[in-house]
Amino acid sequence: MKNNMVENPGVILIGSVNSSRKTLEKLLEHQLNIVAVLGLHPEAATNVSGYCDLKDLSESNGIPFQYFTKVNDTEIVDFVKSKSPDLVFVVGLSQMIREELLAIPKHGLIGYHPTRLPEGRGRGAIAWIILGKVQGAASFFKMDEGMDSGSIWSQVNYEVQDTDDATSVVHQILKAIEKALDAVLPDLKKGIFITTPQDESKATYLGKRNPEDGIIDWKQSAASIHQLIRATTKPLPGAYTYLGTKKIIVWKASISEITNHLGVVGRIVIADENSGVHIQTGEGLLKLEQIEGIEIDTLKVGNTLGFDFEKEYFKLSERIKTIENQ
């Protein structure tokens, strides 16, 4: 679908993560007419993975910048209207754009998603990609009222290997964004904007992932736990476990090559300066390499990781009985 517009159209960027910054850098590089940038306020970004404040980059290039907490608020809608944009880029925003904001730019909004749409619509895409559920791609599309369902403007694949984690995939995503935008921004500057409808028959959807989905089940195999850790490491919230009531985030681990030790699931079977810390899983040992919440050298052989809900429930029940009998 071809949509002609004026040469050097006025564009706005809305976003606040690494992919947003990369998009802004490419818009600047191709000398697009950027009339404003809007970013999530730092105070509202506590739970945003990979948050990136675009205020300094915008203002250092003479671009008006506006913080927001809720993108559909009246003052934000009025700000966007005041700039009379031809196009609005929405990159790295987890909030849904409502109809009033959708209707402002003369030629619509451009969204971004890190999967090969129409496969993998929805949130939590990076983790799902590493978990092997969907193909990764930098997909830019013309937004409609659906979820990641608009016509494709530019799309570049990237491959994820068994050794990749969320950190390395983000780097691949940024490279794919560069290629995807380099392919279309020269034409956009000339007023040429061509999109291709998605094939609805091939659409798949990803369920939302929450931080608590990162809890480690030591009954799983070392390979499965390792995959979970890779899928949730920085800039995501991380996989985690417990030592007693102390939470431990596991940022990096590896499948142990040691095969001559066996222990109770979830229990540390090796912990020394030379070999490191190795934990028994449902199948094989897992070696911890980078953790947060406790110093790794304080972990000892015999420590049991994980939260045993039945055991804790039993302890609580016994405590209640003791109190009642006093």
State which amino acid sits at residue 119: E
pLDDT band at 2 (very low <50, low <70, confident <90, very high): low
Question: What average pLDDT score do residues 26-47 get?
Answer: 95
Q: What is the mean pLDDT of the chain?
A: 92
pTM to 2 decimal places: 0.87
In this prediction, what percent of the chain has a pLDDT beyond 90? 80
Residues of the chain with CATH 3.40.50.170: 10-206
- Classify the C-alpha dihedral 119-123-125-127 as positive or negative: negative
pLDDT digits (tens, 9 = 90+) for 99-150: 899 899 999 999 999 999 999 999 889 999 998 778 999 999 999 888 899 9
Burial class (CB in 10 A: 0-12, 13-18, 19+), 91: buried
Q: Could you give the CA distance from residue 227 to residue 255 in angstroms, rounded to a whole number? A: 10
pLDDT digits (tens, 9 = 90+) for 58-87: 999 999 999 999 999 999 999 999 999 999
Given this model, what pLDDT does residue 3 score?
A: 66
pLDDT digits (tens, 9 = 90+) for 284-317: 999 999 999 999 999 999 999 997 665 655 666 7
Given this model, what pLDDT does residue 308 score?
A: 64
Backbone phi and psi for residue 77, each to the nearest 5 degrees, phi listed first: -60, -45
3-state secondary structure the chain: CECCCCCCCEEEEECCEHHHHHHHHHHHHCCCEEEEEEEECHHHCCCCCCECCCHHHHHHCCCCEEEECCCCCHHHHHHHHHHCCCEEEECCCCCCCCHHHHCCCCCCEEEEEEECCCCCEECCHHHHHHCCCCCEEEEEEECCCCCCCCCEEEEEECCCCCCCCHHHHHHHHHHHHHHHHHHHHHHHHCCCCECECCCHHHCCEECCCCHHHHECCCCCEHHHHHHHHHHHCCCCCCEEEEECCEEEEEEEEEECCCCCCCCCCCEEEEEECCCEEEEECCECEEEEEEEECCCHHHCCCCCECCCCHHHHHHHHHHHHHHHHHC
Contact between residue 93 and residue 15 where contact means Cβ atoms under 8 Å apart:
yes
C-alpha Rg value of the chain to the nearest Å: 24
Given this model, what pLDDT does residue 32 score?
A: 97
State which amino acid sits at residue 63: I
The reply to whether CATH 3.40.50.20 applies to domain 10-206 is: no
Residues of the chain with CATH 3.10.25.10: 211-314
Residue 218 has pLDDT above 90, yes or no: yes
Q: Tell me which CATH code domain 211-314 carries.
A: 3.10.25.10
